[in-house]
């Protein structure tokens, strides 16, 4: 096998093409020292291996570590950086402005959190509600393996959209069941009808939906030659090599004939990617 790429894993870059195009990116903390991207489309149908070198580095400070936290953080960065705060995962717990528990980084809050966020419905393993910053549309939907998505409302901050999502989650699913998503096991549902139900609940919460003309149905197809009937995950911490014939890419997963691997889970891991042919 020829080594095609060496670098530090991070979330793949995607392009909303037909089908979605994926590129492996180098997540090394120093952007000036990152290697080039590796497009995955040409590797479909070929035997491909990911080889973990044994090195793990924080993608925020570069510190060598034995364990990564929250998809890319060393422990000190996880305790100090605003990107690792609990409100990033649970925005309804935003504590900005609390005297005894201030935001870790005011500049980060203003540039990332106090910006317009989209509340949406998408179809992954089923219909789910979700939120994302407006610049992350449509990449957020692709990262989740959605085959359809509809933006429903725009709120002015992460806190406000998080509170709305948390309330909606009492009656609407807000999770993707990843195994079903990777099997291509998507139920035959009318996403527009499900969106109408969510809109009614939003209005009951006092949240104004987007005008109907802006509630556009987006659709996605993925570069998958064959979906697995059973989903088995590779674990680079237990076996340093993962791979097989590359059958497809969906969400942040590589789908091989021998198993699947979530590249985002291994953010900070230094790997080689090699392929036959």
Instruction: Provide the strand spans (E) within 117-170.
Output: 117-123, 127-133, 148-155
Contacts of 113 (CB under 8 A, 6+ apart): 87, 91, 94, 96, 157, 158, 159
CA dist list (Å): 263 to 217, 249, 269, 270? 28, 10, 9, 11
Q: Are residues 121 and 215 in the same domain?
A: yes
Q: Are residues 142 and 203 in the same domain?
A: yes
Domain of 166, in residue numbers: 117-219
Does residue 85 fall inside a structural domain? no
Does residue 193 fall inside a structural domain? yes
Q: Are residues 247 and 210 in the same domain?
A: no
Does residue 128 fall inside a structural domain? yes
Does residue 44 fall inside a structural domain? yes
Phi and psi at residue 185, to the nearest 5°: -90, 75
Three-state SS for 27-86 is CCCCHHHCCCCEECHHHCCCEEEEEEEEEEECCCCCCECCCCECCCECHHHHHHCHHHCH
Q: Are residues 122 and 208 in the same domain?
A: yes
Q: Is there a contact between 182 and 260 (Cβ–Cβ < 8 Å)?
A: yes
Q: pLDDT at position 52, please?
A: 98
Tens of pLDDT along the chain (277 residues) come to 999 999 999 999 999 999 999 999 999 999 999 999 999 999 999 999 999 999 999 999 999 999 999 889 999 999 999 999 999 999 999 999 998 899 999 999 999 999 999 999 999 999 999 999 999 999 999 999 999 999 999 999 999 999 999 999 999 999 999 999 999 988 999 999 999 999 999 999 999 999 999 999 999 999 999 999 999 999 999 999 999 999 999 999 999 999 999 999 999 999 999 999 7
Q: Is there a contact between 130 and 117 (Cβ–Cβ < 8 Å)?
A: no
* Number of domains observed in the structure of the chain: 2
Of 171, 176, 183, 66, nearest in space to 126 by CA: 176
Q: pLDDT at position 71, please?
A: 85
Q: Are residues 132 and 195 in the same domain?
A: yes
- What is this structure's pTM? 0.95
Q: Is there a contact between 55 and 64 (Cβ–Cβ < 8 Å)?
A: yes
Q: Are residues 122 and 175 in the same domain?
A: yes
Q: Are residues 246 and 182 in the same domain?
A: no
Does residue 78 fall inside a structural domain? no
Does residue 94 fall inside a structural domain? no
Q: pLDDT at position 70, please?
A: 86
Q: Are residues 128 and 209 in the same domain?
A: yes
> What letter would DSSP give residue 230?
S
Q: pLDDT at position 251, please?
A: 97
Q: Are residues 215 and 241 in the same domain?
A: no
Q: Are residues 243 and 212 in the same domain?
A: no
Q: Quickly tell me which residue has 């590779």 as its tokens.
A: 234
Q: Are residues 140 and 178 in the same domain?
A: yes
Q: Are residues 156 and 198 in the same domain?
A: yes
């Amino acid at each position: 096998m020829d080594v095609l790429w060496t670098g530090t894993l991070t979330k793949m870059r995607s392009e909303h093409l037909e089908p979605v195009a994926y590129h492996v990116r180098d997540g090394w903390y120093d952007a000036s020292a990152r290697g080039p991207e590796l497009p995955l489309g040409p590797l479909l149908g070929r035997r491909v291996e990911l080889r973990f070198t044994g090195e793990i580095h924080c993608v925020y400070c570069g510190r060598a570590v034995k364990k990564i936290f929250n998809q890319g953080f060393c422990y000190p960065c996880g305790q100090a950086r605003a990107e690792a705060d609990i409100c990033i995962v649970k925005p309804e717990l935003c504590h900005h402005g609390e005297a005894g528990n201030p935001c870790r980084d005011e500049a980060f809050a203003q540039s990332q959190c106090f910006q317009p966020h989209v509340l949406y419905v998408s179809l992954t393993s089923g219909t789910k509600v979700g939120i994302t910053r407006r610049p992350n549309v449509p990449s957020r939907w692709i990262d989740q393996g959605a085959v359809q998505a509809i933006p429903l409302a725009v709120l002015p901050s992460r806190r406000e959209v998080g509170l709305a999502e948390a309330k909606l989650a009492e009656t609407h699913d807000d999770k993707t069941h990843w195994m079903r998503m990777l099997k291509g096991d998507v139920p035959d549902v009318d996403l527009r009808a499900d969106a109408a139900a969510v809109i009614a609940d939003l209005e009951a919460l006092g949240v104004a939906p987007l005008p109907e003309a802006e509630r556009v149905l987006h659709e996605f197809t993925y570069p998958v030659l064959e979906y697995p009937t059973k989903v088995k995950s590779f674990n680079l911490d237990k076996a340093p090599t993962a791979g097989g014939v590359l059958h497809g890419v969906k969400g942040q997963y590589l789908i091989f004939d021998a198993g699947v691997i979530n590249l985002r889970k291994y953010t900070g891991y230094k790997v080689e990617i090699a392929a036959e042919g």
